[in-house]
Amino acid sequence: MTTAKRIGFFLGPLLFIITYLFFPAELISPTAPKALALAVWMLTWWITDAVPIPITAFLPMVGFPLLGVMKISQSTAPYANPVIFLFMGGFLIALALEKHKLHERIALKLIRLTGASGNGIILGFMLASALLSMWISNTATAMMMLPIALSVVHLILNDAGIPHEHNNKRERKFAVGLMLSIGYACSLGGMATIIGTPPNVVFVGLLNEFYGIKISFAQWLVIGLPVATILVFATYFLVTRLLFPNHLEKIKGSEELIATRQQALGPIRKTEKLVLTIFLLTAFFWIFQQPLNALLSRELFNDTIVAMCGGLLMFMVPVDFNKGVFVLRWSDTEKLSWGILFLFGGGLCLAEGLDKSGIIPAVGQWIGGQSDFSIWVTLLLIVISVYLSEVMSNVALVNVFVPVVFGIASVMNVNPILMGLPVTLGASIALMFPIATPPNAIVFSSGYIRIQDMVRAGFWLNIVSILFIWLISISLVNWVFR
């Protein structure tokens, strides 16, 4: 256990006791010190990772009833929120894509389409990473793309057909640009869909919990897809043209390497076709659920039902019925990110406790009362979200910060989506440090990236991302959710 974890392990309960004993109950409500004390404990453990993050997420389930903040029936309900099952269905679909290597086949085809030059290869890896991260874990995507990228870099180091005197500089810039682009594209691609990254799901759940407002898969796609697409191409331009230009023309042997990997996968198998069919059907119903509901004159489909139907079909569609072989078997769920699902529940429970105790309304009243709403308030909140996510889990950040933003929006009498959604998108922009996101850490482990490389690239990309998300928030978000 690291020193930070050891300190955090004891600091969390200590801060709980201090807050519980010394926060004035008359300031907000009698339950406010209890809820705030537990929130401080959770936040300390989340930041220091003193115990597994999902375990910390269970603290409010037992803590709030014991402290008298809410009943056990109320504290357990958020752990069964429909949004959690939306993500669970997405996890099951992603599990099938990974098990049968359909995601690798898609990635290799995209990489092969973009050419064999240095920048072409980087673009191919970025598009493949972003596209896959829309549907499966960005961590899993980064893990899959890294060995393929390392093979390409290794190929260049051995024989790239470049004059020897230019090898070191050009090769290094290509390697750094490629690794950074993969890590960044994995994070940015997840912004496109509700299930693409955990903060999106948390925000949708909190919005429904606080206001009863539901954002559909299609509505999110209208915002998320343009944001992700433009930021991916902006990242490509900055990395390949300004920060780490490699000037590599056609790389000898790269096409053969990708082709060899494709051939190793063999012709597309029956199981892959079944997975692809279920995946496309699920995506179709996610996108067109509203027109279908209108056609049927009833609310038959919603995101959670569609996701769980797609996930369940993976266990029900037979590959070989006589042998009892299906696309997925229950043992495959050992690889499912159960901890993330519990983390969602814990975040929703914490937010509900802070709301019931009056803390969130009080903070919103204090901050919102300082000034009238303006587009500059949203910009400030995005900046806070982006830079806090550099040093703490973006899921934990959204769990704690978005309810506060909702409180500010309520005081200012503003649609909570107009402030909360940009803040949530900003939480995915953690591009400066290896510890900020799993994809950053994975590509940093390649050994080709120095800390200063990631800080330099992330600094400029953070600024570009903040400005673009802000512009989207005062234009497209305002238009869609007005």
**Residues in Cβ contact with 156 at an 8 Å cutoff, skipping those fewer than 6 apart:** 171, 174, 175, 248, 251
The CA distance from 248 to 177, in Å, is: 12
Dist CA 265 CA 263 (whole Å): 5
Return the amino acid letter for 24. Answer: P
Residue for token digits 């980064």? 142
Residue found under tokens 């570009």:
464
Tally of CB atoms within 10 A around 177: 28
Q: Are strands 318-320 and 325-326 parallel, antiparallel or unpaired?
A: antiparallel
In a domain, 195, yes or no: yes
What is the rounded (10 degree) CA torsion for 341, 346, 351, 353? 150
Round to whole Å and give the CA distance between 470 and 468: 5
State the total domains in the chain: 1
On whether residue 465 sits in a domain, the answer given is no
* Sole residue written with tokens 């869609």: 480
Counts of helices then strands in the chain (DSSP H, E): 23, 2
Report yes or no on 293 lying in a domain. Answer: yes
User: Domain for residue 445, yes or no?
Assistant: no
For 250, other C-beta atoms within 10 Å of its C-beta total: 15
- 10-residue averages of pLDDT along the chain (482 residues): 87 94 86 91 84 88 93 90 82 84 76 74 89 82 79 65 53 87 92 88 88 88 93 93 80 71 82 90 83 83 86 92 90 84 82 82 66 73 84 76 85 86 90 78 81 87 92 86 77
192 domain residue, yes or no: yes
User: What three-state secondary structure class fits 46?
Assistant: helix
Q: Reduce the DSSP state of residue 326 to 3 states and report it.
A: strand
- C-alpha count within 13 angstroms, C-beta hemisphere, residue 393: 25
Closest CA to 385 of 423, 438, 434, 336: 423
Please provide residue 351's backbone torsions phi and psi, each rounded to the nearest 5 degrees. Answer: -60, -40
Run of H or E including 342: helix 338-356
- To 10 degrees, what angle do helices 138-158 and 254-265 make? 130
Give the amino acid at 262: Q
Given this model, what pLDDT does residue 435 score?
Answer: 67
How far is it, in rounded angstroms, from Cα 375 to Cα 357? 30
Domain that holds residue 166: 83-335
Q: What is the pLDDT of residue 315?
A: 94
DSSP state of 357: T
Q: Does residue 113 fall inside a structural domain?
A: yes
Structural domain includes residue 90: yes
CA within 13 Å, CB half, 58: 7
Give which of 375, 351, 376 is closest to 364, Cα–Cα. 351
Query: What does the pLDDT read at residue 164?
Result: 42
Query: Where does 196-245 show beta strands of DSSP type E?
Result: none
3-state DSSP assignment of residue 137: coil
Task: Give the DSSP letter of residue 101.
Answer: T
pLDDT for position 437: 77
**Closest to 129 measured CA to CA, from 156, 153, 154, 148:** 148
- The CA distance from 199 to 197, in Å, is 6
Q: Is 297 within the bounds of a domain?
A: yes
Token digits for 72? 């056990």
Q: Which of 223, 197, 218 is nearest to 397 (CA)?
A: 197
What pLDDT is recorded for position 367? 64
394's tokens: 């973006």
Between helices 217-237 and 164-189, what is the axis angle to 10°? 160
Is 38 in contact with 48 (CB distance < 8 Å)? no
Q: Which residues pair with 117 in a beta bridge?
A: 250
